[in-house]
Amino acid sequence: MSELKLPENFIWGASICGAQCDGAWKEDGKGENILDHQTVCDSNKTRRFTHEINPDYYYPNHDGNDFYHRYKEDIGYMAELGFKSMRFSVMWTRLYPTGEEELPNPKGLQYYHNIINELKKYDMEPVIMLSHLDFPYHLAMKYGGWSDRRVIDLFLKFCKTVVTEFKGDVKKYIGFNEINILCQPIGSTLGGIIPDHDFDLNIVKIVPQESQEDMNKRFRALHNQFVAAAKLAIMAREIDPEIKIGGCVSGKCIYPLTPNPKDVLAAQQAMQIPDWFVGDMLVKGEYSYFAKRYLERNNIDNGALPEDAQILKKGTIDFYTINYYSSGCISSDDSVAKDCAMNMFISTKNPYLEASEWGWQIDADGLRYLCNEIYGRYGIPIMILENGIGAAEQLNENNTVSDPYRKEYIAKHIQAMKEVIDDGIELLGYYYWAPIDLVSASTGEMMKRYGFVFVDHYDDGSGTMKRYKKESFEWMKKVLHSNGEDLEY
């Protein structure tokens, strides 16, 4: 590994999501969210969305990893590792159980004060994500999720509560986790657009059949999220001018499968729609030429109002964040198999790359490539808000887990970040997903473990929730305490 260094003020953070780790789904007045209605996947990696909670199924997010009761212990582990920041989501349903209450739930507010106070003990900076898999079930049923403009104001009421309540303590906010997922049909559920019948979810195998109206709804939801994100930025800066607003994009890094110019064009287009469609809006506050063309070509009515334009222009972001796990390829030849799972995306396998057990291809160079693409387009600071590797693990006879692949994965991505900085890019920090094992977003599995800390909890709901350090724990501690210099594994 080379002698490149990370800057002294580089931010090392841990990333988690309340809907995936909290559990306590009905405790202290919390309302139901859309994830509370999703079962753990079956042997085909398929989750089921049920409107009624069915006692024959296990709903993993009801328990999460029990962070709600163990946040002190878990933040303690993060601090011991050497993380200087934690990115977490404040759950809408903990503060406004249905999304429509007049006043916030005081027990919900207290919980987040407790978390922030715990972070302060260790001098860790809180970074808050305001929407991460926690759309209130009630609003999904009543309004059809984000496709209804009235949801914008309801969300802003929640945001205002948070920003006002934690004024002085929290200086970085992000509106929506991976807002670009709505560019694909799979994103509808996350946008709270839920059919009135039970259905299956499998992000690799089930491509939702969309009618024109479904597509309209999905792009209306995306537009409404753009407006909400912009209004949040404007409002937060009015409440506290020191606040910085980030935008979070699921970093899709797509290469052409071959040098055939048609494949190169296909790759360019595949990056335009999920990545730059939203990137251009978040940074420049407008739909780019290809975004407009995409809407026109697909006859999409996204419900944009003339007065939105000014708001979108004013509420742009200060820093760009990506959740980056893997890359994929694309071919212009439709007969080439789409056999490569990426995070909420399907592509074609790259013959030069290895993959995780879940088929996500490991590609640290892709991180460097993507950061260069982003910085070249936008020139604003970048933060890696999620990166990590999920693996099926179990405790060995020494009550630990041997996870050398995790060390290798992280070391390569840290090395890539040094190159990113050496390329001249303003990279602010790196947040690892996720320091403590938690429930997978895509499959609902606990078996897909990302942590440095093993949680004794399993896909049938069994286990004590006790925590055990994996072998990577001490290694990561050494990495963080050397500011990423000692990457030997």
Decide if 471 is catalytic.
no
Select which of 32, 118, 125, 178 is catalytic: 178
Near ligand BGP by CB under 6 A: residue from 36, 118, 148, 178: 178
- Which tokens hold the place of 378? 């936008």
Stretch that binds ligand BGP, among 186-194, 219-227, 312-320, 439-447 (CB under 6 A): 439-447
- Which tokens hold the place of 418? 């040094």
Question: How buried is residue 61: exposed, middle or buried, by Cβ count under 10 Å (0-12/13-18/19+)?
Answer: buried
In the bound state with ligand BGP, the residue whose beta carbon lies nearer, of 79 and 174, is: 174
Select which of 386, 393, 445, 471 is catalytic: 386
Near ligand BGP by CB under 6 A: residue from 37, 448, 457, 470: 448
- Torsions phi, psi of 386, nearest 5? -150, 140
The answer to the question of residue 386 lying near ligand BGP (CB under 6 A) is yes
Per CB under 6 A, which of residues 244..273 are in contact with ligand BGP?
250
The answer to the question of residue 327 lying near ligand BGP (CB under 6 A) is no
The answer to the question of residue 390 lying near ligand BGP (CB under 6 A) is yes
The answer to the question of residue 413 lying near ligand BGP (CB under 6 A) is no
Question: Would you give the distance in Å from CA 362 to the centre of its chain?
Answer: 18
The answer to the question of residue 341 lying near ligand BGP (CB under 6 A) is no
The residue count for binding ligand BGP (CB under 6 A) is 14
The answer to the question of residue 441 lying near ligand BGP (CB under 6 A) is yes
Residue 272: CB minimum distance to ligand BGP, A: 20
The answer to the question of residue 134 lying near ligand BGP (CB under 6 A) is no
- Which of 354, 426, 349 is CA-nearest to residue 383? 426
Residue 20: CB minimum distance to ligand BGP, A: 6
The full 3-state SS of 137-169, as one line of letters, equals HHHHHHHCHHHCCHHHHHHHHHHHHHHHHCCCC
In the bound state with ligand BGP, the residue whose beta carbon lies nearer, of 32 and 134, is: 134
Decide if 8 is catalytic.
no
Whether residue 254 contacts residue 261, with contact meaning beta carbons closer than 8 Å, is answered with no
Taking residues 14 to 33 in sequence order and writing x for each that binds ligand BGP by CB under 6 A, - otherwise, the string is ---x--x-------------
The answer to the question of residue 331 lying near ligand BGP (CB under 6 A) is no
Residue 265: CB minimum distance to ligand BGP, A: 27
Question: How buried is residue 209: exposed, middle or buried, by Cβ count under 10 Å (0-12/13-18/19+)?
Answer: exposed
In the bound state with ligand BGP, the residue whose beta carbon lies nearer, of 61 and 216, is: 61
The answer to the question of residue 343 lying near ligand BGP (CB under 6 A) is yes
The answer to the question of residue 387 lying near ligand BGP (CB under 6 A) is no
Annotated active-site positions, please? Answer: 178, 386
Q: What residues make contact with ligand BGP under the rule CB under 6 A?
A: 17, 20, 177-178, 250, 323, 343, 386, 390, 433, 440-442, 448
